[in-house]
Structure 1
Amino acid sequence: MSSLTFHQATNEDIPALLDLSLRGYASIRELGIHFAAATADEDLVKKNINENICFYMRDGDEIVATASIRMPWSSHHGPYEIPHIWWVAVDPKYKRKGYATKILDFIEYDFLRDQLHCPSVSLGTAKEHPWLADMYLKRGYNEVSETDLGKGHITVYLEKLLLAKSYKKR
């Protein structure tokens, strides 16, 4: 029986999160997609932890997944005035165990919806990735826009409604 726990990252977690990120994003690098997390170093992990809200998930004693939220007031905010999920990584040793779903559920529902009362959340992914956009669409996200950020791929921005009664259309 697994025991999943969620934690907000601190600077003490930098080495473990860097290792997880580089291993978790190996397939992204192989596809030639240029996500910042795919080639992170200790400084970028530290910046992510200190400027954003970075969570990680443990299954027992093992760190198995991480995801971060860029807030609208941060220096590297998302494209809209709502929280923006990024840097989602799962340890490849634990692929297909539902860990991405579990950490996203925690962030979307337990944290953003239930604690912060956010009406919606956004995220971005590479249009060229063979399955990520479809995964997010199945999770209830809707495509909002596409843009070329000059990174060698087209970024697709998606948004998910979390609190219908609080939501105001742009």
Structure 2
Amino acid sequence: MRRKILITISIFSLNFLLNSCAGGKSAAQTATPEIPTPTPAPLRNLTICLGYEPSSLYLYGTNSQATWSVLEAIYDGPIDTRNYQPVPVILEKMPAFDDSDAAFQPLGVQAGDEILDADGNLITLTEGVELYPRGCTSPDCILTWDGTSQLQMDQLVV
């Protein structure tokens, strides 16, 4: 008999233990959704490998390949160079003299005006400057300005 009592107590104890661990039905809990925190945008780095550091990044200052490599990364101009050919980026097509998209027009210049000298440098016009006068496109007709005579140059209009 003792065994029956022990088995009965064991069954009740086990039943009590299992029911207490399972927990009762509780009121329905609403889960609050976790709002994910946005991941910060990754830093954008651009590495340009150059043989040397450009002396200036002024757009009209120098004409070195190192300068233009950096400026091409910063500015997306109207024209890019691909396979050594100019390609329009924000233009519909490349301007051409053949279809009158581009033309030279005469422009009177005087001392103090900014011009391109015979070497293609942007300078202030002063006496003794060598330049291409209107209609001149070869080195044979380069003119050294005397500082007083009337002068016209070609201005490219696109």
TM range (shorter): under 0.3
As a proportion of its length, which structure holds more strand? 1
Q: TM-score, normalised by structure 1?
A: 0.21
Q: TM-score, normalised by structure 2?
A: 0.22
Q: Which structure exhibits the higher relative contact order, with contacts defined as CA atoms closer than 8 Å and separated by 6 or more residues?
A: 1
As a proportion of its length, which structure holds more helix? 1
The structure with the larger Rg is 2
